[in-house]
Structure 1
Amino acid sequence: MTSRIDDQVRHATIEEWLKQYQADSSVFASPTISLMAHGTALERHTHNAQGQLLTDAQTLLVQAAQQGLDAPLLLGIIPFNPAREAYLRVPKEYRRDPVLLRPVQRPPLAKSGNTIANQSLLPDGEGYEDSVSRILATMREQNISKTVMARTVTITLNEALDRQTVLSNMLHSNPAGYTYALPLPGGNPQDPDLFFGASPELLVRRQGDLVTVNPLAGTAPRFADPQRDQASAEGLMASSKDLREHAYVIQDVVRILSQFCDSLDVPDGPSLTSTANLWHLSTRISGRLRDASVTSLELALAMHPTPAVCGLPTQPAMQAIEATEAFDRGYFAGAIGWNDHEGNGEWAVAIRCGHYTQQGLTLSAGAGIVDGSVPALERQETGNKLMTLINSLGLAQNITL
């Protein structure tokens, strides 16, 4: 059996790299690595209700090595609620290439051959605003500082998903982010189920003893007009509501990482980062592991779910979300990434994502809710986030949010 293919010295363009992509391929591309894996040597559905997920993952890597895989690597997706079912996979082979070469100017998004049979929102706009109002009342009653409320759009396509176009669009439009695609068991082998997305947010990276995280919280729309765009960015940096939302996240992240690192490099305040559609408040934090045996997956499990996708305190916020939202999040707002045989790895927050099953797509987006949140503005924010992924689909038709 094979596993690792020697890393390529030459940087590839997105188009060259995607020539390797097949229906059973897994992808994780970030500012530090371009990982593509093929096939499935071992896989397991598990959960972390009793803290067993890390042990199950380590067992898979040991079994893979015993079966002759060279330097086995684990890919995985942890759901929003870690007590629910996660999916772990050891590919038959993989390659880790340098960061992909991207054009100086982003090309226009490519159009796919996909057309929409029908679509539906859950909840609709009015229903979402109502859910925000209801959870604000719950937060006051239960002394919850922050929650995150999400909504979904479900799209039925007239044909199989044009994966190549979607991945190309995501990679071109998300150069500083985390583009991922992980096939899931089930469906047609030529058109397998797929969890995919283009997240702007790093949950955790572990390289040797160096740990890096990059939480995002606080969002504002971008505009084609440079003056409006700059005003939106400046407004975000001055927003007491968004700064408070961001501070909740950073405080909790620092608390968790302090359990693993003796010292942390934490900036005095957030900076701005952006995608094609949105501005975000961002804080990049790094530290050195106290115990070099701690793996990237162990760190991801300790960090997830962060207040950026759940809230504070974590368990009351999660219970309030699951009692208020009209759908099961599943893998949305979970963690997706990889962990190698040395414990190195990179995990992204599973946002700006879609779950594809047999010509059906479920796309999800959420907004942080704190005291002072305005339901109509949170609805607008989720719509802007959903459009980030919808645009990557390259659909000819417009979708109303």
Structure 2
Amino acid sequence: MEATNTQLKASKELVISSFFVNAFRSNASIAVWRKPGSSKVESITDKDPDGYDGPLKDLDLLPPGFMIHPFNNSQQHPPLYIKASSYYSFHLNNEAPEESENTELPEVADVKEEELAAEIREFILKSQVKSTANTSTTTKSSFIATVTKAIEAINSGDLYKVVPAKIKHIELPEDFDLASVFLKLCEIYPKAFINCFYSEKTGLWIGASPETLIKTKGDEFYTMALAGTQKAKGEDPLKNAAWTQKEIEEQALVSRYIVDCFKKIRLREYSEIGPKTTVAGGLLHLKSEFLVDMKNTNFPQLGSVMLALLHPTSAVCGMPKEKAMEFLQRHEAFDREYFSGFIGPVNMNEETVLFVNLRCAKLNNKKTLLFAGAGITEDSVPEKEWEETEMKCNIIGQFIQTQ
């Protein structure tokens, strides 16, 4: 049920902090999010630490919940589905409440937000998801060496594009406030998918993803091709944007990849909008959008089918997909875990929308892990690609370090 105005007299930070404290105390899995362009913060919890144990292939058959899928499925980092056994939501702008049958009100009476924030911080400092994977900070020299090898592989004809990534560590501040960071991300990045989720298996993640992987609502299917990156400059960054041939080609490859997926399933009736420049988290990208009427094309299972074909997209892996994945497995010195996988609410309020897990951080003990990748083509300049990953890491990192 939507929170009433009386319930929202407690600060929004207090409400969000209570979500996580209640989940941590009961060893429950939890997901909290705000969709792009929305004012509604939504939260679900599932007290079953194993989550949903049924098949995840057919989205339409899943109970309402939240999907967490890794970049590369493994025993160590498996897909996880958080069932919406309890649901709670409120509007950031205090709009009138909506009707809902399921109510789960957080316990916020006679509690100070500072106390809850401190309890969350203590939980983060004591917790550490068991992992044998390398999570060392990626050095500039090693990243540039990988980019150089990628360019060589592209020039030799093995690849068209590949997307190497890196890890960057930052210290968790002593005054870190998870709810405050979440709300700040909602304020600064209104067009991003702001999310924070936790389970025993995944650990605690927070992010602001700019990229929709798939969306289905009623008979409508939607996906996008997002690539090319530059810093937003000036009072009107959209007018100031000037794209290089490298960035235009990089985005075109992602669009072609989506069209190729349509061709594989013999889908010819779709609408394509773009490419056009879009702002996401202080950065500019080129975006093309694709829409399909699933009823007119007689393809009600299009969401599940395209999800299987699209992931991992050329925007986070490369082209051809198999060779790009082989390159990354040889040259990336760390496990991406859930970075560049996909996340999002499924069958919630008759809508499924999954996002590529980008611009994200894993809150892991005293150190926070930031992740970022760069699309490499034959025209890439290694030094500039490193600078791009630094900008991407800063989208989340700046708010974690500054309270």
Work out whether the TM-score is over 0.5. yes
Q: Is the 8 A contact 1:297 1:345 kept in 2?
A: no
Residues 32 and 384 (structure 1), Cα distance of their counterparts in 2 relative to 1, 3 Å cut: closer
Q: Please identify which structure carries the higher strand content.
A: 1
Residues 201 and 249 (structure 1), Cα distance of their counterparts in 2 relative to 1, 3 Å cut: same
* Matching of residues 102-141 of structure 1 within 5 Å: 122-141=137-156
Tell me which residue corresponds to 1:272: 277
User: Does 2:15 align with 1:20?
Assistant: yes
Return the offset for 1:173.
1.1
Matched to 2:353, the amino acid is E
Q: Hey, what's the Cα distance between the residues in 1 that align with 2:13 and 2:262?
A: 35
Tell me which residue corresponds to 2:328: 321
Matched to 1:38, the amino acid is I
TM-score (norm 2): 0.76
Q: Is the 8 A contact 1:197 1:352 kept in 2?
A: yes
Aligned residues: 350
What is the DSSP-based 3-state SS (H/G/I as helix, E as strand, rest coil) of the residue aligned with 2:257?
A: helix
Tell me which residue corresponds to 2:186: 171
Tell me which residue corresponds to 1:65: none
Q: Is the 8 A contact 1:183 1:193 kept in 2?
A: yes
Return the offset for 1:329.
0.7
Q: Hey, what's the Cα distance between the residues in 2 that align with 1:221 and 1:341?
A: 34
Q: Is the 8 A contact 2:238 2:278 kept in 1?
A: no
TM-score (norm 1): 0.76
Unaligned runs of 5+ in 2: 24-29, 95-116, 126-134
Return the offset for 1:16.
6.0
Tell me which residue corresponds to 1:369: 376
* Matching of residues 222-233 of structure 1 within 5 Å: 222-223=232-233, 225-226=234-235, 229=237, 233=240
**Alignment partner of 1:252 out of 250, 257, 269:** 257
Unaligned runs of 5+ in 1: 62-71, 103-111, 187-191, 397-401
Tell me which residue corresponds to 2:215: 205
**Alignment partner of 2:64 out of 38, 56, 73:** 73
Pick which of 17-26 and 142-151 moved more.
17-26
Return the offset for 1:296.
4.3
User: Does 2:169 align with 1:154?
Assistant: yes
Residues 299 and 97 (structure 1), Cα distance of their counterparts in 2 relative to 1, 3 Å cut: farther
CA RMSD of aligned residues (A): 3.5
| Cα deviations by residue, 1:139-197 (Å, 9 ceiling, x for unpaired) | 333521011111111234365852111101111111011111111216xxxxx931220
Q: Hey, what's the Cα distance between the residues in 2 that align with 1:271 and 1:281?
A: 5
Q: Hey, what's the Cα distance between the residues in 2 that align with 1:8 and 1:46?
A: 27
Q: Hey, what's the Cα distance between the residues in 1 that align with 2:47 and 2:218?
A: 26
Q: Hey, what's the Cα distance between the residues in 2 that align with 1:146 and 1:215?
A: 15
Matched to 1:344, the amino acid is E
User: Does 2:385 align with 1:378?
Assistant: yes
What is the DSSP-based 3-state SS (H/G/I as helix, E as strand, rest coil) of the residue aligned with 1:175?
A: coil
Identity between Structure 1 and Structure 2 (%): 23
Residues 272 and 77 (structure 1), Cα distance of their counterparts in 2 relative to 1, 3 Å cut: same
Q: Is the 8 A contact 1:222 1:277 kept in 2?
A: yes
Q: Is the 8 A contact 1:220 1:381 kept in 2?
A: yes
Q: Hey, what's the Cα distance between the residues in 1 that align with 2:381 and 2:180?
A: 36
Tell me which residue corresponds to 1:36: 42
